[in-house]
Amino acid sequence: MKELLWKTAGGSVLGASHRRRNLPNQDAWLAEPGLDAGSSFLIAVADGHGGPRHHRSDVGSQLAVRALKETLAWFFDDPESLPELAEDLHALWLQSVLADLEQRPCEEGVVAYGSTLVAVAGSGNHLLALQLGDGDLLLGFADGTIERPFEEDDLVGEETYSLCMDNAARFVKRRLFNREQAARWPDFAFVSTDGVSKSFVDGEAFVSVVANYRDLSAEGNSLKSTVEALPGWLREVTDNGSGDDATLCIATCG
C-alpha cells in the first residue's frame, strides 16, 4: 500500500470585536508538519471561551493543543487505546492548568481556562478525528464529497462542552479510521473555531467554502498561495461576520 504524505497549514486572526475591546486572541492552533510533507500529521484548533469567568482561556486553548500533541505522541503506537484517549488528554490538560494556577492563583480556578478542542491527526494507516465542544470538523474524499464525522451537540444557544468541566472526557467525540479496512479514505481534513462558520449565512455556504479549499489544496503548489492568503481572508470573515476570533487548519494528502 502506497505511503501517504500529508501537508498541513493553518492561520488565525484576532476577532473584530476583540480588537475593539483590546482583548487577546483566545484561539490556538497547530498544524504539523506544515508544507513539508510527512507520513504523520496533526491539525488542531482550540477556542477559549472568553468572558469574565474564563479570563485565562487564551492560555487554556494553548495548553489544549499542547496536551493533545503530547497525548498523540503515544496514542498511534497503540491505536487500541482509543477508549482511554479522552481521559488521558483531559488529565494532561488539567495537569498543565493546575501548574499554571500554582504560579498564578485566581478565584475562578480551572474554569478560568475553559476551552474547546477540535482536531484531526494521522499516522501510517490510521486517522483520528476528535472534537470537544463547538467548532467545525470536516473531511473530504476523492469523489469530492465533504462530510462531518460527528453529529452536532444537542445544546442550546452558545452553550458548549469544555475542557474545564470535571467530566469533560465524557463528551470528547472521537473516530478512528483504518485505511486497510475503510471503503473510503479521507484525503483532506478541515478544522476551524466557530468564529469562522458563524460568519456565513448558512451551513451550506460554509461547506461550499470548505470544498473550495479542498480543490485548491489538491492543485499542488496552490496550497502555498492558499496559506499566504489565509490571514487576509480570515480578517474579512471576522470583520464582515461573527466578529469573533477566526482560526482554521487544513491537511491534504497525495
| Tens-place pLDDT, residues 121-158 | 999 899 999 999 999 999 999 888 999 999 988 887 77
* Residue 17 pLDDT level (bands cut at 50, 70, 90): confident
Res. 228: pLDDT tops 90: no
Q: Which of 90-94, 205-209, 230-234 has the highest mean pLDDT?
A: 90-94
Whole-number pLDDT of residue 120: 98
Whether the per-residue pLDDT at 100 is higher than 90: the answer is yes
Provide the percentage of residues in the chain whose pLDDT is more than 90: 70
Which of the pair, 107 or 184, is modelled with greater confidence? 107
* Structural domains of the chain ordered from first start: 6-253 (3.60.40.10)
pLDDT the model gives residue 221: 56
- Is 80 exceeded by the pLDDT of residue 182? no
Question: Residue 220 — very low, low, confident or very high, per pLDDT cuts 50/70/90?
Answer: low
Mean pLDDT of all residues in 86-114: 98
State residue 135's pLDDT score. Answer: 96
| pLDDT score for 219 | 63
What's the average model confidence in pLDDT over 174-195? 92
Q: How far apart are CA 193 and CA 133, in angstroms?
A: 10
CB of 169 within 8 A of CB of 99? Answer: no
How do residues 39-84 score in pLDDT, each as one tens digit? 999 999 999 998 899 999 999 999 999 999 999 999 999 999 999 9
Contact 73, 82 (CB under 8 A): no
Whether the pLDDT of residue 235 is over 60: the answer is: yes
Q: How far apart are the first and last CA of the chain?
A: 13
User: How buried is residue 155: exposed, middle or buried, by Cβ count under 10 Å (0-12/13-18/19+)?
Assistant: exposed
Give pTM, 2 decimals: 0.95
Which grid coordinates are listed for 53?
Answer: 469567568
List Cβ neighbours of 36 (8 Å cut-off, separation of 6 or more): 7
